[in-house]
């Protein structure tokens, strides 16, 4: 559930470009941390840290497969966070249409 602190963690996790990229890559198919680490110009430890932030926010899960740690995206959590801001956007898009309507009827 994206409520309170949980939601804060989700928004914090998604505020970083590398983390958004990692999430996009693992959302459909799992990838190992070492495979992810090769994709970015940063240390293995730095990528691991990003993965940990995503995991803490509940956006990904890690699974041990032999010697590898495989990262999977948690679609539901991401969907809820995005839905929250998208709903606000919908409220305002509706308001803009409402203002248009008010203006149109009077002129």
Partner 1 sequence: MTVLDVHRDEEALTFTIVAEFDAPPARVWQVWADARQLERWWGPPTWPATFDRHEFRPGGRSAYHMTGPDGTKAHGWFAFTLLDEPQRLEFDDGFADQHGEPVTTMEPTHGIVTFEAVGDRTRMTVLSRFTSIDQLQEMAKMGMEEGLRLAIGQIDGVLAEPS
Q: Which residues bind partner 1 (CB under 8 A)?
A: 2-4, 7-8, 11-12, 14-15, 24-25, 27-28, 75, 78-79, 81-103, 107
DSSP 17-54: HHHHHHHHHHTTS-EEHHHHHTTSSS-HHHHHHHHHHH
- List 62's β-bridge partners, or say none: 71
CB of 35 to partner 1, least distance (A): 14
Nearer to partner 1, 24 or 43 (CB): 24
- Chain centre distance of CA 37: 19
Do 13 and 56 meet the contact criterion of CB atoms below 8 Å apart?
yes
Nearer to partner 1, 43 or 76 (CB): 76
Nearer to partner 1, 67 or 107 (CB): 107
CB of 12 to partner 1, least distance (A): 7
């Amino acid at each position: 559930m994206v409520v309170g602190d949980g939601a804060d963690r989700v928004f914090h996790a998604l505020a970083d470009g590398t983390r958004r990229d990692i999430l996009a890559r693992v959302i459909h198919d799992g990838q190992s941390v070492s495979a992810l680490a090769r994709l970015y110009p940063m240390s293995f430890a730095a990528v691991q840290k990003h993965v940990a932030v995503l995991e803490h926010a509940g956006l990904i899960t890690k699974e041990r497969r032999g010697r590898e740690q495989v990262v999977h995206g948690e679609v539901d959590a991401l969907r809820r966070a995005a839905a929250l801001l998208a709903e606000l956007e919908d409220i305002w898009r509706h308001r803009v249409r409402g203002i248009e309507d008010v203006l149109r009827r009077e002129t």
